[in-house]
Amino acid sequence: MQIEFTLNGKPIVVDAPPDISLLTLLRDDLGLTGTKEGCSVGECGSCAVIMDGRLVNSCLVLAPQAAGSEIVTIEGVHAPDGGPNDMQENFITHGAVQCGICIPGMVLAGEALLMHNPDPSRAEIRTALAGNLCRCTGYQQIIDAIESTAHGRLAVGESHG
């Protein structure tokens, strides 16, 4: 079947079987392998994408459910010059990246949080990451990176404001 949706800001039409997951569609049909497959059953968050402004586990979304939606994957998160954005830079500078499999989902969880709550408390950041598992970092550096990004964006907003 044909599925039409917006992917990282661009409209696309893709022909796909109706019974595959959005994760499979993204990785296998569209070659966007930044979205990672961990558990495949909705428990780890490594496959997270932003769908209509909300973080979802793409392994639990059927590809046809994407029809008409706006999806952002990690490939859609970058600075205007194509390099890492401020969130990604903060993950690097805070040492929040080890093996990396959770990181696309973590970055997208951070972006989804800041879309709705630009000045989250550390407790709110923890809650926003509740569905994203990391076996390596102990989470503190990830929370630090998201908090620094929020503070940095607020500072930029104030200086423009």
Given the rule CB under 6 A, which of 31-39, 80-88, 119-127, 153-161 is the region that contacts ligand FES?
Answer: 31-39
Number of residues that bind ligand FES (CB under 6 A): 23
Given the rule CB under 6 A, which of 87-95, 122-130, 133-141, 151-159 is the region that contacts ligand FES?
Answer: 133-141
Question: Per CB under 6 A, which of residues 74..93 are in contact with ligand FES?
Answer: none
**Considering only residues 101, 124, 126, 152, which one is a binding residue for ligand FES as defined by CB under 6 A?**
101
Measured CA angle at 57 (ends 55, 77), to 5 deg = 50
Helices 103-116 and 140-160 cross at an angle (nearest 10°) of 40
Half-sphere exposure of 74 (CA within 13 A, CB side): 26
By CB under 6 A, residue 154 contacts ligand FES: no
In the complex with ligand FES, the residue whose CB is nearer, 32 or 134, is 134
Question: Per CB under 6 A, which of residues 33..72 are in contact with ligand FES?
Answer: 37-40, 42-47, 57, 59
Minimum distance, C-beta of residue 37 to ligand FES, in the bound complex (Å): 5
Which candidate, 133, 101, 96, 111, places its Cα nearest to that of 49? 111
Minimum distance, C-beta of residue 117 to ligand FES, in the bound complex (Å): 22
Q: How far does CA 37 lie from the centroid of its chain? A: 13
Phi, psi of 147 (to 5 degrees): -65, -45
Q: What is the 3-state secondary structure (H, E, C) of 35-77?
A: CCCCCCCCCCCCCEEEECCEEEEHHHCEHHHHCCCEEECHHHC
In the complex with ligand FES, the residue whose CB is nearer, 79 or 99, is 99
Which residues here bind ligand FES, judged by CB under 6 A? 37-40, 42-47, 57, 59, 97-103, 134-137
